[in-house]
Amino acid sequence: MTIISTAVASRASLTLGLAGWLRCPRCRSEVERVAETYRCVACRHSYPIVLGIPDFRLYEDPLIPLEDDYRKGEKLQRAAEERTFAELVAYYWTLPTYPATPPDVSARSIHHVTTDATRIAGYADLLGTGRRFLDLGCGAGMLARAMHDRFNVCVGADIGFRWLVVARRGLEEAGLPANLICCCADHLPFVDGAFDTVASVSLLEHVTNAPAVLGECARVLAPAGRVFVWTTNRFSLAPEPHVRIWGVGFLPRRWMPGYVRWRRGLAYEKKHLLSRRELARGLEQAHLPVHHFAVPAVTEPDLAAMGRAERALARVWSVASRVPGLGRLFLGVFPVLQVVAARRPARPPA
């Protein structure tokens, strides 16, 4: 632990100036660097820097106890020293998870990460360009990686410490700075208005209070900035992607965990999929009244990972979404909700 910590900390410093945008997630006061911690100048709370990654979490990842998250991160860091990014992602899924992850689910996760560049290319133009970009819930860091040619500084944030270790391997492999922060999405450790674009991809379905997360996205957004959300739709006509079961979202929420356990023996207590209406309401509550939903492109890697019935449905959607007027009808039942939101409409070109 000590050897790795020293080696990694020495090369993992934040892009110049980024430390100045960090704030205490408890009281939003400035923080100062004191050895291997950030300390709040007002409430005096300390936040550790672990393996070179600042940890501003107020609570642990609901999927894994704090100490297990650190231990897994250390193990992944050791593995990262002798593996490529793709090998590290595959290695991640050889480590135990609690409860155990079925092989088909972990295989889909690996496939999703290794083909994510194609998916991102389909929506990259919606993220705009600018000085600072935040990928909230960055996971393996593919989006933060892809945005480096559009933004001066890209930051990846995630509640899963272990995933940030994986993300760092990918950024290093691409020769990019690894600005990675461990934090809770509803208590962001950033100054108001820090980012031109905040993206939340595959995050909201994993949080219990989506409006609070969207509120934090809005707070750290520059006045003319935009929030991009990509999340699994509760009322999708396709199988629920985390457990691969059809129709889960149409059940009352309290029945979902029991149904998923009965069908596949998997836990489902920690998934909170939103409908299009719930997401729109959350954006309005977060003072992001301008929002535009769109049907995302179905990529070839996505089609390759689908079963026959799902693929046939996806092809119908693909065609229908390109027919003017018809696409909007499908928005509410498409597998993914994709939306760009802002505080006010973009100024028309002069």
CA distances, 132 to each of 41, 79, 147 (Å): 25, 31, 10
Is the Cβ of residue 24 or residue 218 nearer to Zn ion in the bound state?
Answer: 24
Q: How far is the CB of 108 from Zn ion (least distance, A)?
A: 40
Is the Cβ of residue 32 or residue 81 nearer to Zn ion in the bound state?
Answer: 32
Is the Cβ of residue 27 or residue 100 nearer to Zn ion in the bound state?
Answer: 27
Is the Cβ of residue 184 or residue 280 nearer to Zn ion in the bound state?
Answer: 184
Q: How far is the CB of 55 from Zn ion (least distance, A)?
A: 15
d(CA 281, CA 289): 9
Is the Cβ of residue 42 or residue 224 nearer to Zn ion in the bound state?
Answer: 42
Q: Are 135 and 141 in contact (CB under 8 A)?
A: yes
Q: How far is the CB of 28 from Zn ion (least distance, A)?
A: 7
Q: Are 243 and 268 in contact (CB under 8 A)?
A: yes
Q: Are 307 and 335 in contact (CB under 8 A)?
A: no
Q: Are 159 and 185 in contact (CB under 8 A)?
A: yes
Q: How far is the CB of 38 from Zn ion (least distance, A)?
A: 10
Answer positive or negative: Cα dihedral of 230, 234, 239, 245. positive
Q: How far is the CB of 44 from Zn ion (least distance, A)?
A: 7
Of 120, 152, 319, 314, nearest to 230 (Cα)?
120
Footprint on this chain of Zn ion (rule: CB under 5 A) = 24, 26-27, 29, 40, 42-43
